[in-house]
Amino acid sequence: MIKIKELHAYYDLIEALKGIDMVVEKGKITCLIGSNGAGKSTLMNSISGVIAHKGSIMVDGQTEIAKKNSRQIARMGIIQVPEGRHVFPGLSVEENLQTGTIVWHGYFGRKSYEAELEMVYELFPRLKERRRQLAWSMSGGEQQMLAIGRALMARPKVLLLDEPSMGLSPLLVGEMFEKIVEINKSGMTILLNEQNARLAMKISDFTYVIEQGRIKMSGISAQMQNNPQIAEAYLGKQAAAQA
Amino acid sequence: MLHGAASPDNKNGGIKVNFSIFFSMLVNGLSMGMIYAMIAMGLILLIRAVGVLNFAQGDLLMVGAYIACVLIMDLSLPFYIAVPLSLVLYALLGLVFMLATYWPLRKASYPVAPIIATMGASLVLSEGTMILFGSWPRIISPVLKNAQGKALTVNLFGTRLQVQFLLIIVVAIVAMALIYLLFEKSYIGIMMQAAAQDKPTAELIGISTLMTTAATYMLVVVLVSIGGYMVAPVYTVTTSLSSLNLRAFAGTVIGGFGSIKGAIIGCLLVGVVESFATIRFSSYKDAIVFLILIVFLIFRPQGLIIDKVADKA
């Protein structure tokens, strides 16, 4: 689905990504793990066209998106759920969901988005209950549901989830990950950036470990989970002893 | 000129206020308040959309009046051509204003730059108009005229009123209601609100902030220019029309910068107070308005009405 080659990204003079090669397979969950500042979010932001980068990002083996801006990339169906949720605080839940449709609806369009709305409300019944509520007044978990729901309204082909568990209670994190699996089962390709390495590897098909702007390791998640090196670095000493 | 319908007789230090005078003062005050409210609504929409306090708001109103004056008086275009044409020109003015004062400066390292730019634009607009049209006030005929071609008047509750004042109130309410509905209820309005609240995220999900910002500026300039066209027949067309901005600022501060509803109430208050002040202290009416402003700034600086979320458009 997405093939990345020799990707470099910069914040002014600092090179945050130092040549990334990776593949996001169609219909699978691919996860990025690594410590803070390793470059996971930078990688997400490079794919979605938010920050300056060099290299090649091919979609479906035919379209090069490395030079496109974030709006053009969104219109291709590659939709990012930004880190920290970023719902529109002064809009109601339903209006927030409505904004997700802009990529295929057009400013003066008259197309119906009832089907998408129904699908999102079915996935997150909580949002339906709160459809008239302003987004700022909702809890962190509900805002995360809303941010994912808004992305789904865009009829995405690929979903880029940037730290969906950030700031959520452990119970909610579990619930959120079940939803992510559910979205994936409907055929969605997902790239997941996650601090919680154990959970990320459990639900994903492929894992990439990023360290200091480079891919350190990669492989099938089920095997990576049992890799003693990863266990020691990202899952804690206890897990390392078990592995 | 401004309060021609019931000009106060100041020789004896004031006049007796009967109902007729009271009523005509009230209508005059409300209609001027409506003009201020249109300026204030535009002011708040721009603050929300781009965080810019527009000091050229009054000059845009003044240019709007001149555009109408040229189309109707100089070119003597019929009403049904002049009105749509002036609306198109107002929207273009808004687009040019946005591209000149905001877009190139939006990422300036000095965040006040676009606000300073509106001050510059204010000077350019007023001096430019002065160069083009001279400093003499010009007359524009009211929208509704009687058989002699003079301003139409009606008798309401035994009071003779210029219809133009009533028309200002009606047009202002309709224009503000339409813009409110567009922002709150329409699809593109939701996109404009989203872009106003969080520009990077709006771009990320595919909203063009250039497009929404341009649309906001165009709507705001159309709104204040309509105000200029409506007020011109009772005020004459002159560059000093831009000073209406100050009273709109006062009304906005009194009502509260966070709420359009509050700003409209504040502006109506300013209009009415100003109108009644002419009965006794004609030359000090501005002083009284700004005295109230100072009282508000001391005792209720947050304004009459506070919105729970300031960024809800």
Chain B residues near residue A105 by CB distance under 8 angstroms: 187
Q: Are residues A231 and A165 in the same domain?
A: yes
The nearest alpha carbon in chain A to B310 belongs to A90
pLDDT bracket for residue B311 (50, 70, 90)? very low
Q: Is A99 on the interface with B (CB under 8 A)?
A: yes
Using the beta-carbon criterion (under 8 Å), do B201 and A75 form an inter-chain contact? no
- Higher pLDDT: A3 or B286? It is A3
Q: Do A103 and B206 touch (CB under 8 A)?
A: yes
Judged against a pLDDT cut of 50, whether residue B83 lies above it is answered with yes
Chain B residues with beta carbon closer than 8 angstroms to that of A134: 309, 312
- Report the residue from A48, A75, A90 with minimal CB separation from B312: A90
Mean model confidence pLDDT for chain A:
91
Structure tokens at B147: 């058989």
Of A79, A90, A103, the CB nearest to B197: A90
HEC assignment per residue over chain A: CEEEEEEEEEECCEEEEEEEEEEECCCCEEEEECCCCCCHHHHHHHHCCCCCEEEEEEECCCEECCCCCHHHHHHCCEEEECCCCCCCCCCEHHHHHHHCCHHHHCCCCCCCCHHHHHHHHHHCHHHHHCCCCEHHHCCHHHHHHHHHHHHHCCCCCEEEEECCCCCCCHHHHHHHHHHHHHHHHCCCEEEEECCCHHHHHHHCCEEEEEECCEEEEEEEHHHHHCCHHHHHHHHCHHHHHHC
pLDDT at A22 over 70: yes
Taking the CA of residue B310 and the nearest CA in chain A, the distance in Å comes to 8
Of A109, A133, A155, the one marking the end of a domain is A155
Task: Tell me what pLDDT residue B128 has.
Answer: 92
CA–CA distance, A167 with B188 (Å, rounded to integer)? 32
- What is the pTM assigned to this prediction? 0.86
In this prediction, residue B212 carries a pLDDT of 93
pLDDT at A190 over 90: yes
B311 has a chain A CB within 8 A of its CB:
yes
The structure tokens listed for B72 are 């109707």
Under an 8 A CB cutoff, do A75 and B206 touch? yes
Of residues A240 and A160, more confidence is placed in: A160
Mind telling me how many Å the CA of A237 is from chain B's nearest CA? Answer: 39
Q: Which of B5-9, B75-79, B230-234 has the lowest mean pLDDT?
A: B5-9
The ipTM is 0.90
Tokens representing A45 are 């932001």
Which of the listed residues A155, A185, A207 is the one where a domain comes to its end? A155
Per-residue confidence (pLDDT) for residue B134, from 0 to 100: 83
3 state DSSP class of B160: strand
Residue A61 above 60 pLDDT? Answer: yes
Render pLDDT for B194-214 as a digit per residue (tens, 0 to 9): 999 999 999 999 999 999 999
Q: Please name the member of B191, B200, B311 whose beta carbon is closest to the beta carbon of A99.
A: B191
Distance from the Cα of A75 to chain B's closest Cα (Å) equals 7
Is A143 found in the same domain as A188? Answer: no
**Tokens (6 digits) for B75:** 């070119």
Which band of pLDDT confidence, cut at 50, 70 and 90, is reported for residue B122? very high
Position A228 scores a pLDDT of 82
Please report the DSSP string for B133-156 in residue order: H-SS-B----SSB-TTSSBPEEEE
> A151 pLDDT band (50/70/90 cuts)?
very high
Identify all chain A residues contacting B313, using CB atoms and an 8 Å cutoff. Answer: 90
Evaluate if residue B5 carries a pLDDT over 50: no
Tell me how many helices (H) and strands (E) chain B has: 11, 2
**Same-domain status, A65 and A171:** yes
A100 touches chain B (CB under 8 A): yes
Kindly state the average pLDDT of the residues B109-122: 91
Tell me, yes or no, whether A142 and A186 share the same domain.
no
Q: Would the pLDDT of B310 be above 50?
A: no
Q: Would you call B309 and A89 a contact, using CB atoms and an 8 Å cutoff?
A: yes
Find out whether B263 and B40 touch, Cβ atoms under 8 Å.
Answer: yes
Q: What is the mean pLDDT of residues B263-292?
A: 85
Does B124 have pLDDT greater than 70? Answer: yes
Looking at residue A17, which CATH number applies to its domain?
A: 3.40.50.300
């492989």: which residue's tokens? A219
Share of chain B above pLDDT 90, in %: 45
CB contact residues (below 8 A), chain A span 157-216, against chain B: none
Task: Give the mean model confidence (pLDDT) for residues A118-123.
Answer: 95
Rounded to whole angstroms, the Cα distance separating B36 from B246 reads: 9
Indicate if the pLDDT at residue B8 is higher than 60.
Answer: no
| Mean pLDDT, residues B249-266 taken together | 87
Task: Assess B265–A contact: CB distance below 8 Å, yes or no.
Answer: no
Query: What chain B residue is nearest to A105 in terms of C-alpha separation?
Result: B187
Q: Does residue B3 carry a pLDDT above 50? A: no
What is the per-residue pLDDT for B1? 41
- The mean predicted confidence, pLDDT, of chain B is 85
Per-residue pLDDT at A243: 54
Q: Are residues A44 and A101 in the same domain?
A: no
Query: Looking at A140, A155, A170, which one is the last position of a domain?
Result: A155
CA distance A70 to chain B (A): 6
B284 close to B277: Cβ distance less than 8 angstroms? yes
**Over residues B269-287, mean pLDDT:** 83
Same domain, A103 and A176: no
A136 shares contact with chain B (CB less than 8 Å):
yes
Residue B279 has pLDDT above 50, yes or no: yes
Percent of chain A with pLDDT over 70: 97
Domain that holds residue A10: 2-77+157-242
Show the DSSP H helices in B51-154 as ranges: 57-69, 79-101, 113-133
Residue B11 is predicted with a pLDDT of 45
In B, which residues are within 8 Å of A74 by CB distance? 204-206
A116 against B163, higher pLDDT: A116
pLDDT score of B282 more than 60? yes
Residue of chain B minimizing CA distance to A70: B204
CB contact under 8 A, A102 and B201: no
B184 vs A: CB within 8 A: no
Question: What's the pLDDT tens digit per position in B128-172?
Answer: 998 988 878 888 877 777 767 677 787 778 778 888 899 999 999
Tell me if A151 and B205 make a contact (CB, 8 A cut-off). Answer: yes
pLDDT at A240 over 70: no
**Residue B9 pLDDT exceeds 60:** no
CB contact under 8 A, B204 and A48: yes
Contacts of B188 in chain A (CB under 8 A): 107-108
pLDDT tens digits, A195-209: 888 899 999 999 999
Reply yes or no on whether the pLDDT at A12 is more than 70.
Answer: yes
Q: How far is A53 from chain B (nearest CA, A)?
A: 16
- Please tell me the distance in Å from A242's CA to the nearest CA on chain B: 42
Nearest CA in chain A to B204: A70
Task: State the angle between helix axes of B19-50 and B187-197 in degrees (0 to 180), rounded to the nearest 10.
Answer: 70
**Span A20-39, average pLDDT:** 92
Same domain, A225 and A174: yes
Task: For residue B12, name the pLDDT band (cuts at 50, 70, 90).
Answer: very low
Count how many domains chain A has.
2
A52 or B10, higher pLDDT:
A52
Residue B241 pLDDT level (bands cut at 50, 70, 90)? confident
Q: Regarding predicted confidence, which is higher, B153 or A116?
A: A116
CATH for B26-299 (3.90.79, 3.30.60, 1.10.4160, 1.10.3470): 1.10.3470
Mean pLDDT for the stretch of residues A82-107: 93
Q: Same domain for A167 and A184? A: yes
